[in-house]
Amino acid sequence: MQSVVTFEKPLPHLSLPDWDARLYGLQVTADTRRADAFDLRHSAHQLRNETRIKTQWDSYHNNNRLRARVYEIEQWKSTLQELLERLDREMSALKEEKASTERELEQLNMPLLVCSECLSNRDGRRSTELTYDLADTELKKELCVTESNKKMLIDRCQSAWEKINKLEVVKFKLQLDLNDKNEALLIDKDMLSLDKDCASITYKTDSLKTPNRMITYEQWLNKCESTKKMAIEELQDTLRLREMLFVARGRARNALRAQTDVTNYMMRRRIYDTQRARNELQWQKMKMEENMDKLARELKTIGEQFADKVNALKVAETRLETRGYRPGIELASDEADVGLKEEVRNLRETIRQLQEKQDCANSSGDQFEQKN
């Protein structure tokens, strides 16, 4: 008979080996879970370290890439800015050269007017003085040289105007490229200043998308190089054009000055020749007037002598005629008769010679009158 009443749950009871087995199973499970937790913590720690390091290095490298990109863009910006400033200086210098050439072109109007006026005035010469002399030839050469210089300067001004327009296009392209680079610098610098603590960072819907107008780095570099090359070539071409303008003005001035000197020399020579011819003609006129006076006096003397010889002939003929009336044997051919006849013959010959001289003198006087 039991003194204590015991009650058992109406559940199956485990045996000690089962309990030990269950306990061992729980122990193994706990050890497994702890080992798994340890491995998970270790791998998580390792992953955290690796991701942190990778993120830091990625951020560091990308920051360096952004800094390098900013530096590269700044270098290109500095280069293009310098080219733009040089381009502005070259444009200003070219405009000054063009203005100087235009002033030189305007100054050619006066030599043209002078040449034209000289030719018109010299064309007013009269009679035998209207000749094609060396002065006339050199004046026409000077006119041709002036026209040639004018055409050359007009062509140079046209080339300068076209080059200025082309430089304006290049300047616009450089300015546009600089504006793009300035904007890109602002964006890259702003992105370089961002970090994980900034308030402006957000998730983006499609951050890995590639814009349609995006080009490769090589294309961008080629574009920058081509822009730089284009600007340098235009600057060199502009420098050559400015030198051509300067040389053209100097050449035009020298050619016109040389031709003007030759023309002036020929004009002075023609003036000297004309003055010498005028002096010679004046001297000839003076001598001819003297000879005309002498000839007039000689004609007067010849006339007097002619009248004297006529009267003497009349005397001799009267004597002969009167002595022919002598009477009888007194009508003899004596020495007086012979002498009178000889005197008449001589007087007639003398009168004939004086008449010829008088006719020649009158003819010479008429020629003198015509030449005067």
Residue 23 belongs to a domain: no
pLDDT along the chain (372 residues), means of 10: 65 79 90 91 90 89 92 93 93 92 87 83 75 80 87 90 93 93 91 82 82 88 93 92 90 88 88 88 85 79 77 77 73 74 81 78 65 55
Q: Is 289 left (phi over 0), alpha (psi -120 to 50) or beta?
A: alpha
- pLDDT at position 367 is 64
Taking alpha carbons only, the member of 236, 238, 233, 256 closest to residue 153 is 256
Query: Which pLDDT score is estimated for 49?
Result: 92
Are residues 126 and 243 located together in one domain of the fold? yes
Residue 363 and residue 271 share a domain: no
Q: How far apart are CA 251 and CA 115, in angstroms?
A: 19
* Same domain, yes or no: 268 and 337: no
Residue 162 DSSP symbol: H
Counting the structural domains of the chain, the total is 2
Say if residue 267 is in the same domain as residue 361: no
The pLDDT value given to residue 18: 82
Contact 238, 165 (CB under 8 A): no
Do 271 and 307 fall within a single domain?
no
Q: What is the pLDDT of residue 237?
A: 92
Q: At what angle do helices 134-192 and 16-107 cross, to 10 degrees?
A: 160
The verdict on residue 146 lying in a domain is yes
Residues 324, 325, 329, CA angle at the centre, nearest 5°? 85
238 closest CA partner among 105, 84, 93, 83: 93
> Same structural domain for residues 92 and 232?
yes
